[in-house]
Amino acid sequence: MRILKAFLADIRGATAVEYGLLAALISAALIGGLTTFGNSLQNTFNTVSNNLDNH
């Protein structure tokens, strides 16, 4: 019984899971933001390239 109480009181596993979820959320936000930024930057370079080709 004492081992079971010690196991249930141990929060290290829960903390590791929380850190893992936090890291996954941050990663997803970074990937989404960088994808949007990359697409915007690509459009800017395409516009500049097209304008240079026309002149």
Question: What's the pLDDT at 26?
Answer: 97
In angstroms, rounded to a whole number, what is the distance separating the alpha carbons of residues 1 and 32?
48
Question: What's the pLDDT at 43?
Answer: 94
In angstroms, rounded to a whole number, what is the distance separating the alpha carbons of residues 29 and 16?
20
Higher pLDDT, 48 or 55: 48
Q: What is the DSSP letter of 55?
A: -
Q: Which two tokens stand for residue 34?
A: 């960088």
Secondary element (H or E) of residue 22: helix 12-54
Higher pLDDT, 54 or 7: 54
pLDDT tens column, 2-42: 887 777 777 777 788 889 999 999 999 999 999 999 999 99
